[in-house]
Structure 1
Amino acid sequence: MPAATSGSRSKLLSTNFKNFLSKPAITHPQKALTVQLHNAQQKSNMSSNASQGAPMTGDIATKANSGFPKDSNAPGEQFEPRQTATSEDYEPDPSKSLKLSPQRQALVDDIIALYSCQPTVQRVKRYTPDCVYDDQFVYANDRYKMAGQWFALPKLFNASINESYQVIRSDDDMIQFKNKQSWTFRLIPKTATITGLVSLSLDPATKDSDFMQIKYHKDQANEKDYSHEGLGFSFKKWQADNVVKHMDAPELKEFEQDKNANKEEVRRYGTGTEEGNAPKRDFTKA
């Protein structure tokens, strides 16, 4: 399977990494992806219809996903939000979405446009040079690698449509929203509508400006957080490190200098459960 296809948004693929790399998946990649898209959508549908009777477990903001550095020179790794959920149900309710200032709404609009296969240089500049993007199949630890991911999307998908979103948190540290996106592969006549939890940790230097920027972008497709360990993480990082090398989009030249952005070693947690410094929250009540 081409590296760029493997690096598509994690919400479109099965969470079972072993199955993804199994011999049938390698031999018949289009068939395997079709099955995985079907499974992902079925899983999303089941979680959307699941009972929401779990008790409240506390506020959305916790010490693990707030209180980030006040110095914008701190590298993106220091702005990582950590959280697990009582359910993988991230179905948005737009009627409950928090109202945002024009500046914050513009930031969310740009991120939604990036998810919707509409990358531009200006939209990618919503990230700081030392940003981190972290989802189930990607770990990009600078803006150059991040740009490679966004500009690859239109090559992978015929369409990506935002069905709805719900902002559930907006403060000095973070903007967080539930997202529902429909994706259609170019090579496979299949559309999957998948939900996820998007957490945008804000740059302290620009959080009150007209052009806000992001230090850490985390996209969680299920109830777990990321351990940053094991074979799955090695693939995530390899994919982000290498996809950009094979991209010919002229826009990427704008971000080549970001390869030298300030970085720290990857933070490792041993597990993606609560024990990995990821407090559990009931996002179905948001």
Structure 2
Amino acid sequence: MSSSSSPPFEAYQIKNTTINEAPGVKLSADQRLLVGSVLDLFSGNPTLKHLALWSPSALFADPITSAAGYDRFAAQWYGLPALFRPIQIQSHRVTSAGNPIEMQLENRYTLRGPVKTAQTITSVVRISVGGDGRIERLEDRWNDKLPEGVVSEAFRKLNAMTVPNFVTVPKTEAEDQKLKAEREKVE
């Protein structure tokens, strides 16, 4: 992607078009597109178009998963609205326009089901962009931390391998639109 030819947010069905930048931070058009798409993912609104902005070998990491490769990280994003609804971004602010792009995020997740348990998570999100302009690594650092150690890393990788067995990731645009319509019907 290049700034002069960045497709508009609409081309990627991005809903989060207002990007809050900290004083002195100025994102390029390409960076704004990536941040908007990431905010949509954190809002529980994944689409194949959003994931087209990711490198197929990208890594998604948070305290409970370390998902490398499209099948694993896509399942994490599509699994989010399957477990939580609503998901509401309380606040976000981009604090660095470097590589990685850094953003402070406060998100409220409500567990689906009869008991609507809600949890607010404050995190620092780091979006690393490859030479092709696509996301190659995204870290969701709860309280600006990721767990360390062999046991926690094994658990995070196991989670990344298990989730794809239970979450449907659409293969076609038609399947994606059907899932999206089902999510929006529930809201």
Q: TM-score surpassing 0.5?
A: yes
Aligned match of 2:142: 221
Amino acid at match of 2:90: E
Q: Does 1:99 align with 2:26?
A: yes
Amino acid at match of 2:43: S
Aligned match of 1:128: 55
Aligned pairs (5 A) from 1:12-91: none
Counterpart secondary structure, 1:166: strand
Aligned match of 2:66: 139
Q: Deviations over 1:28-58 (max 9, x none)?
A: xxxxxxxxxxxxxxxxxxxxxxxxxxxxxxx
Q: Is the 8 A contact 2:104 2:124 kept in 1?
A: yes
How many Å apart are 1:95 and its aligned residue?
5.5
Q: Is the 8 A contact 1:144 1:252 kept in 2?
A: no
- TM-score under structure 2 length normalisation: 0.74
- The structure in which a higher percent of residues are strand is 2
Give runs of ≥4 in structure 1 deviating > 3 Å.
93-97, 223-226
Alignment partners' CA distance in 2, 1:203 and 1:106: 15
Alignment partners' CA distance in 2, 1:243 and 1:225: 19
Q: Is the 8 A contact 2:124 2:144 kept in 1?
A: no
Question: For 1:183, which of 85, 109, 116 is the aligned residue?
Answer: 109
Aligned match of 2:38: 111
Relative distance call for 1:246 and 1:190 in structure 2 (3 A) is: closer
How many Å apart are 1:252 and its aligned residue?
8.1
Q: Is the 8 A contact 2:106 2:121 kept in 1?
A: yes
Amino acid at match of 1:184: T
Amino acid at match of 2:143: N
How many Å apart are 1:107 and its aligned residue?
0.9
Relative distance call for 1:97 and 1:133 in structure 2 (3 A) is: farther
Alignment partners' CA distance in 2, 1:205 and 1:125: 12
Alignment partners' CA distance in 2, 1:137 and 1:225: 9
Q: Deviations over 1:172-208 (max 9, x none)?
A: x2211111111111023222222100001111122xx
Q: Does 1:154 align with 2:74?
A: no
Aligned match of 2:167: 247
Aligned match of 1:174: 100
Alignment partners' CA distance in 2, 1:98 and 1:146: 28
Unaligned runs of 5+ in 1: 1-92, 207-212, 254-286
Question: For 1:198, which of 106, 125, 128 is the aligned residue?
Answer: 125
Unaligned runs of 5+ in 2: 1-19, 174-187
Higher relative contact order (CA 8 A, sep 6+): 1
Larger Rg: 1
Amino acid at match of 1:230: V
Alignment partners' CA distance in 2, 1:145 and 1:201: 18
Relative distance call for 1:167 and 1:148 in structure 2 (3 A) is: same
Greater shift, 135-144 or 238-247, is seen at 238-247
Aligned residues: 153
Alignment partners' CA distance in 1, 2:62 and 2:172: 21
Amino acid at match of 1:250: P
Counterpart secondary structure, 1:192: strand
Counterpart secondary structure, 2:96: strand
Counterpart secondary structure, 1:240: helix
Over aligned residue pairs, what C-alpha RMSD do you find? 2.1
Alignment partners' CA distance in 2, 1:201 and 1:126: 12
- TM-score under structure 1 length normalisation: 0.50
